[in-house]
Structure 1
Amino acid sequence: MAETPEIRPHAIMIPAPYQGHINPLVDLALNLASRGFTITFVNTKFIHHLLSKSHKNLSDNNNDTDTDMFSEARKSGLDIRYTTISDGFPLDFDRDTNVFEFWEYLLDGFIVHVDELMENMVKSSCQHMKPFLIADTFCTWHAKIANKYNMVDVSFWTEPALMFALDYHLDLLRKNGHYPPPKEDTITYVPGVDPISTKDLMTFLHESDITMEHKVVFRAMEEIEHADFILLNTVEELEPKTVPALTQILPTYAIGPVNLYTRNFKISKSLTQETECTEWLRSKPPSSVLYVSFGSFAHLKGNQVMEEIAHGLLLADVNFIWVVRKNIIIGSDDATDLLPGGFEEKVKGKGLIVPWCDQDSVLSDPGIGGFLTHCGWNSVMESMCHGVPMICFPLLHDQPTNRKLVVDDWKIGINLCDGESVTRDEVAGKIKRLMCTGGFRDESKKVRDVLWDSLDAAAGGSSDRDLARFLEDLRAKIHA
């Protein structure tokens, strides 16, 4: 009598269409595929087009349908497929300038495209595979789609547990008069959250009017109530009160940092062509280079900040790599034009200015001694994974809250300034303090070890344990 083939889990994975949300979901996809899962990773056609241009140097008129970001992973034996869907707009639609219109459609119209994809995938699914959904928490349709197709619903939170707890308990903030906060005050009543100042809340919570960010967060928190599992890209040892508190009320699993699971795979996931920095870094002494980057999405407000940072780097007289990406200031196609006259000539040999680079590769280089960052969670995680201390200059969204963790809780960085304006003397002073003080580097190395140990089964790592618990619970749910 023939044996009944084992049911194989098939994860259909859909990120929010931004670099900072795509990267960790790609890492999670590779991790699950290496554990025997079948994966179908879904990008929008626009994101796919950016990937194709970045890695094949295609012009806007070239056909990019043959680009597959997981082709190398499949050569390693992983069963990981790749497909695309429309986001409802033509490729030449400016999603940054028209962000309100774009997100309005993502909230209410995009589900039509996902529905069509899911219907086709479920119909064509092999009888020995059981499809389930893993979607970014800010894909605010995931529970509806999972319910319609009777699929297990996994929501992936790409920010710290602290952010999740604050978003989830917005009703408590509202009830206690801290949303929006009338003045600076201390919040002491959110379960699992140590006392936190209102100045450290996410930027949208300081807005009296309902913004698009409010709408997205509100909808995401409504949808999360129906998820079967919630994965957090954080580590319990770093958030020892918040993670257990969330586990008491929701099916949460802290499995971060997901970027460390996939160190052996080289995946082309950058939406912008990268400049190679390795050779330049090799010419510099250990821990002598400051890396400066404000991520893939955040915008500086006005030329003044660019000028003051540039002059601060000159005053600090430090080796540096500075990512000056296109449109870092809204409306500027080439932000290097905003640098002070003669700046690039003055820093020749000491400074490398690039439009984009492989950040994880740069931060892992022995030459890097510090990171001036906007405090996006991926950047914070990557910096911690390599023991690099930070100068924090948050700009929007979760970044002020992430700064609070870096500076106040973990003591692995310093605050650049209070507010959005900054002076060159502040910049120079903070750079010298960070780069010349061994204490920050020592604390950063301790946190680095905590992150790596969290994935070590032999060391009883919490993230390894939570991942194993998630996989066991997931398989039970799928087979049920």
Structure 2
Amino acid sequence: MADNDRKPHAIIIPYPLQGHVNPSVHLAIKLASRGFAVTFINTQSIHHQTLKALGQEHDGDGESDGSYDIFANVRGAGLDIRYTTMSDGLPVRFDRSLNHDQFMASLLHVFSAHVEEVVGNIVAMPGKRVNCLIADTFFVWPSKVAKKFGLLYVSFWTEPALVFTLYYHLDLLRINGHFACQDCREDPIDYIPGVESLEPKDMTSYLQESHPSSVCHQIIFNAFRDVKAADFILCNTVRELEPSTVSALQARKPFYSIGPVFPEGFTTSDVATSLWPESDCTQWLDTKPPGSVLYVSFGSYAHLSRADLVEIAHGLSLSEVDFVWVLRADIVSSNNIDPLPDGFKEQLGDRAIIIPWCRQNAVLSHPAIGGFLTHCGWNSILESIWSGVPLLCFPLLTDQFTNRKLVVDDWRIGLNLSNRNKTTREEVAKKIVRLMSKESGSEFKNAVGAVKKKLEEALMADGSSTKDFDQFLADIKDRIHQKEHLSDGA
């Protein structure tokens, strides 16, 4: 057998959302650079959106026809990554963001059949033997598919360890009356292994709902039953950021903290992952003083209410701080072409630029950026820390409420935008000024610098994330050799 055929071969399937695809792409590159052969499977919908963002949309049904391969550049550099696509069970042009429940229902009930077919075809191909399936933890089927085809199952968790452990210990939350009960307790949660204390308001949005019967709850329940059968769990966090939580999880499962999973060089990537055309605001930023501009973005998926968006807009105006605002076309509704207040853009002059999408890490790393008004997506938080930019937190959905707790209470690298249900323009303006002021904002700037250092150290040759990734590679290769030895012996 040729040396090339002895490479460990991993199939990687990311959850079909922007915030999950990005770290999965970077994990694929990381594995391939360490000698793995990788087959990366995107959904046809994600593939189609990527093509559209690049201006390469075609008239077909969205299936991969070989005309565009997101890994072509890195393969040209010698990395062994193959690329293919499959259906998620819905038409390619179906609006998944605005029809969230139907999208999630398809991922819950239909997607696994497509996965089985595609994985089965890859496993049956002559030549290279497939060794492991690396799939997002939120999928409900990985352990079953891996078992069917004799593969090791590696679960990839793209959020902080704190969120993982809350879902992992749903039984404790139920037993203690903090979840899925008529009148849930409101006192702090202090019985989760590795979690000192947590207010119920800091749990994920799905754990705060009084009637946990939605399709997303079903996904969470099934996914975290399934993950208990995982052979390995990779987490996009840093041990030093969540030491007690990570240690407690490592005592239960082969759990490896390998974050932050960034592209080489951070601000650039040879792989196209953006689902929208990216605007370049570098020239405008170049005209602004260092640390003077607030970057505003609410991520790739969640929606703002029109009332909140209007108050935030007025608050930005009142603050008199320069800003870049990434405003997705569908941030409120796909039918609302311009949800901003009348005359808002005209009154700003040159103190702001509003764009539909951008390469976020490139903007955050620009010297002019001094703060980030964010929905608290985990990728956004890691990128902001890496760039030394403090955060103003306005969570909208899912893990973002727990992420805010880490940012504001644990690491003290940012502020809550609002502690009340109603957002007011006056409070928005006040918090922006506090974060961006050289005097009042210095505590956050200094704190984020200290946390950034932990991320940098974790990725050094002797850092915790490097060591965990090296240990994972050693452990999985050992398991692969054991399985091959048993297979050859049979």
**TM-score, scaled to structure 2:** 0.93
1:364-388 Cα shifts (integer Å, max 9, x gaps): 1111100000001111111111111
The answer to whether the 8 A contact 1:31-1:262 is kept is: no
1:74 equivalent to 2:75? Answer yes
1:298-320 Cα shifts (integer Å, max 9, x gaps): 1112x221111111111111110
Deviation at 1:331?
A: 4.2
1:388 equivalent to 2:395? Answer no
Name the structure 2 match of 1:221.
224
1:248-303 Cα shifts (integer Å, max 9, x gaps): 001100000001556364321001111111111111111111000000011112x2
The answer to whether the 8 A contact 2:376-2:400 is kept is: yes
Look up the equivalent residue of 1:193 and give its one-letter code.
Answer: V
1:73-126 Cα shifts (integer Å, max 9, x gaps): 112111111100111222232323332222222112211111111111111142
Name the structure 1 match of 2:487.
none
Name the structure 1 match of 2:262.
259
Q: Aligned equivalents of 1:394 and 1:359: distance in 2?
A: 18
Q: Percent identity, aligned pairs only?
A: 50
1:152-196 Cα shifts (integer Å, max 9, x gaps): 110000100000111001111111111146253201110001211
Please list, as runs of the form range in 1=range in 2, the aligned pairs for 1:82-231 lying within 5 A after superposition. 82-127=83-128, 129-180=129-180, 182-209=184-211, 210-231=213-234
Q: Aligned equivalents of 2:286 and 2:465: distance in 1?
A: 33
Name the structure 2 match of 1:23.
22
For the residue of structure 2 that corresponds to 1:352, the secondary structure is: strand
Deviation at 1:34?
A: 1.1
Please list, as runs of the form range in 1=range in 2, the aligned pairs for 1:409-420 lying within 5 A after superposition. 409-420=410-421
Q: Aligned equivalents of 2:203 and 2:74: distance in 1?
A: 39
For the residue of structure 1 that corresponds to 2:349, the secondary structure is: coil
For the residue of structure 2 that corresponds to 1:78, the secondary structure is: coil
Please list, as runs of the form range in 1=range in 2, the aligned pairs for 1:303-382 lying within 5 A after superposition. 303-334=306-337, 337-382=338-383
Q: Aligned equivalents of 1:227 and 1:357: distance in 2?
A: 36
Q: Aligned equivalents of 1:137 and 1:400: distance in 2?
A: 19
The answer to whether the 8 A contact 2:388-2:449 is kept is: yes
Q: CA RMSD in A?
A: 1.8
Deviation at 1:342?
A: 1.5
Look up the equivalent residue of 1:466 and give its one-letter code.
Answer: D
Q: Aligned equivalents of 2:407 and 2:15: distance in 1?
A: 25
1:453-474 Cα shifts (integer Å, max 9, x gaps): 10101xx311011000000001
Please list, as runs of the form range in 1=range in 2, the aligned pairs for 1:414-453 lying within 5 A after superposition. 414-436=415-437, 437-453=441-457
Deviation at 1:59?
A: 6.1
For the residue of structure 2 that corresponds to 1:328, the secondary structure is: coil
The answer to whether the 8 A contact 1:395-1:420 is kept is: no
1:278 equivalent to 2:272? Answer no
> Residues 320 and 125 from structure 1, CA distance in 2 versus in 1: closer, same or farther, beyond 3 angstroms?
farther
Deviation at 1:420?
A: 4.2
Q: Aligned equivalents of 1:60 and 1:78: distance in 2?
A: 30
Deviation at 1:330?
A: 3.1
Q: Aligned equivalents of 1:419 and 1:27: distance in 2?
A: 37
Q: Aligned equivalents of 1:36 and 1:332: distance in 2?
A: 48
Name the structure 1 match of 2:32.
33
Deviation at 1:140?
A: 1.3
For the residue of structure 2 that corresponds to 1:13, the secondary structure is: strand
1:381-411 Cα shifts (integer Å, max 9, x gaps): 1111111100000111011100000000000
> Residues 395 and 5 from structure 1, CA distance in 2 versus in 1: closer, same or farther, beyond 3 angstroms?
closer
1:48 equivalent to 2:47? Answer yes
> Residues 5 and 59 from structure 1, CA distance in 2 versus in 1: closer, same or farther, beyond 3 angstroms?
closer
Look up the equivalent residue of 2:445 and give its one-letter code.
Answer: R
Look up the equivalent residue of 1:276 and give its one-letter code.
Answer: D
Look up the equivalent residue of 2:344 and give its one-letter code.
Answer: F
Q: Aligned equivalents of 1:131 and 1:54: distance in 2?
A: 33
Structure 2: which 5+ residue stretches go unaligned?
Answer: 483-490
**TM-score, scaled to structure 1:** 0.95
For the residue of structure 2 that corresponds to 1:186, the secondary structure is: coil
Q: Aligned equivalents of 1:124 and 1:254: distance in 2?
A: 33
The answer to whether the 8 A contact 2:291-2:368 is kept is: yes
Q: Aligned equivalents of 2:286 and 2:29: distance in 1?
A: 30
Q: Aligned equivalents of 2:2 and 2:104: distance in 1?
A: 49
Q: Aligned equivalents of 2:288 and 2:410: distance in 1?
A: 32
Structure 1: which 5+ residue stretches go unaligned?
Answer: none
Q: Aligned equivalents of 2:316 and 2:286: distance in 1?
A: 20
Look up the equivalent residue of 2:40 and give its one-letter code.
Answer: F
Deviation at 1:421?
A: 2.4
Between 71-80 and 4-13, report the one with greater CA deviation: 4-13
Select the residue among 295, 299, 309 that pairs with 1:295.
Answer: 299
1:214-235 Cα shifts (integer Å, max 9, x gaps): 1111011110011110000000
Between 18-27 and 178-187, report the one with greater CA deviation: 178-187
Name the structure 2 match of 1:9.
8
Q: Aligned equivalents of 1:411 and 1:438: distance in 2?
A: 12
For the residue of structure 1 that corresponds to 2:219, the secondary structure is: helix
The answer to whether the 8 A contact 1:31-1:261 is kept is: no
For the residue of structure 1 that corresponds to 2:156, the secondary structure is: strand
